[in-house]
Structure 1
Amino acid sequence: MSPATAGLLVVLRRVGIALAFVAVLLRPGVGQTSVSEQLSDLDVLVVVDRTRSMAALDYDGRTPRITGVQADLTALAKALPGARFGLLAFGAETRLVMPFSSDTTAFDAAVETLYLEGPKDGAGSAADRPVPELTAVLERAEDQSPDRRRIVVYAGDGENTTGSDEDPQSFEDLRDLVAGGAVLGYGTSEGGPMPESDDLDGALGYVRDPETAETAISRADLGNLEKIADQLDVPFEHRTAPGGLAPLAKSFAASYSDGQGGHERPAKHDLTWLAALVLLGLVLLELRAGWRAVWTSRDALLPARPKGARR
């Protein structure tokens, strides 16, 4: 084989390795088939307090309360595969951040990017503020999917700082709309300071009490959260550190179907394995050529043997 031909083969082999590697990353497929999905009959509506008090540094030591909420909700979504999750956030107003969806990646992203109200943006904390919108969302879900079971997971600190003399709205009327759920409480009765910056870095200063100009302390009202749990007829759990949500997730007792009743998704016949085989073959040829080059160079560097010398 001429040097030019050998060099061309080396170039073609290395180009082939690059193309096969890209093909493996792209996961090529042809045609179409149906794949059964494991579907849950469960709709989980998560209600999150996003008032500034959720920035208080009294969760798991000196961690913001909202950080604990985010860790728990991500773990809960992972523990309930196939369930649909919705996210309702409340502060000065209540809004549906994410409608019910089985896309847990989107739910995790919505939870991770949930932002708190600024120190001067809110109208005080009110644990009962989401009741009207929560009722509306659950009623719509019942009309649209009457066969699915809905549970509510309320995550907050229970603090009420609006100064209103009106009786708080009750969650009791929601009992007929839900099949269970939980109230998760964050923070302590001793309380903690609230970082003023958006990134919740206490080194940049804390929220101050406008009346005293001293550092404001947010104190969780765990008793208020227990009342909400009683009204919903669901358990209350005081969350002080990450982990330990498996028993709670198991208590929701989701039932699953394995793609029966038309619950299937389209998928292509995966050809990644074929690209991987081509890549393996080309890499082995490259390694073989490399070893041959090494041994050829080694022989060339050895001193010439004198004529008549024995091997």
Structure 2
Amino acid sequence: MRVLVTGANGFVGRALVLRLAKQRHWTALAAVRALPPTESDWYSGDSIEADIEHISLGDLTRASLEPVLFSGVDVVVHCAARVHVMHESEVDPLSAFRDVNVVGTLKLAEQAASVGLKRFVFISTIKVNGEATVLGEPFRADDLPAPEDAYGLSKLEAEQGLSQLAARTGMEVVIIRPPLVYGRGVKGNFGSMIKLVEKEIPLPFGSIHNKRSLVGIDNLVDLIVRCIDHPAAANQVFLAGDGQDLSTPELVRSLAMAMGKRARLIPLPTRVLSFGATLLGKRALAHRLLGSLQVDITKTRELLEWQPRHSVEEGLRRCFVTSSQGGRV
């Protein structure tokens, strides 16, 4: 089976292409905006046991996609996106998100449907469900969407457009909504947390009593691969997760254990943390550290007969294992 993966130089797309390339019954076609000078620019530190074909899509919102692009392709996995931006520079962020995540996605999907592709797998986000949950009341795949920011709204609009396209053309659409994805080479807030724990810096999170769902990159890739050809995945929405929720202090301790470091937690009241974060203009970050966001993956487990391959502890350990030590499978 030939699978076209967009965003193949991104965190999720890259891991997916490597997995597909190492399984004999898949052929990976790595699609990016601009081709790299050499494969090693993407896959440094990872052994490549099969050839990976690369193609350039250009700007999906403006480029004219030729039918030959999909020659021999059975399934598209669309990972490319304008993701959540920590320091937004756009005057109109919603328009910027819509341009890439809605217009670009639907243009690609329309072209795929027009040449008779069987399935389109869309990597969305848990932000479509919302930003937070009440402790013990996780999001479910079939909940009414309630996005609160431009990124989440753009992904919801793309999902809605894809569903309409599926109904009109018969092309199967599969939607996966992951929460925070972590793994070797992760950046953003999670990467910053790793650096703080690695330096054994005292962190004021000892009194936080929340629960958050995460998904390791290897578990997410496993789920995507299952959705590529599983009959029950057609026209469904799935939530991704490791199946084990952690509080912020538990995450710090687990990271420290994975690195062989000491977790240094100070029990500062959460109201003090919240107030301080507001003063520093870091309310969004404080919300993630203090609040809960849980996902229920029961539908994913049962309908796809799928289980996360790695526990959270194993997933965190794999953040710090090089490929020569067996970090990739």
Provide the TM-score with structure 2 as the length reference. 0.32
Work out which structure has the larger RCO, using CA pairs closer than 8 Å and 6 or more positions apart in sequence. 1
Write 1 or 2 for the structure with the bigger share of strand: 1
Q: Larger Cα Rg: Structure 1 or Structure 2?
A: 1
Question: What TM-score comes out, normalization by structure 1 length?
Answer: 0.34
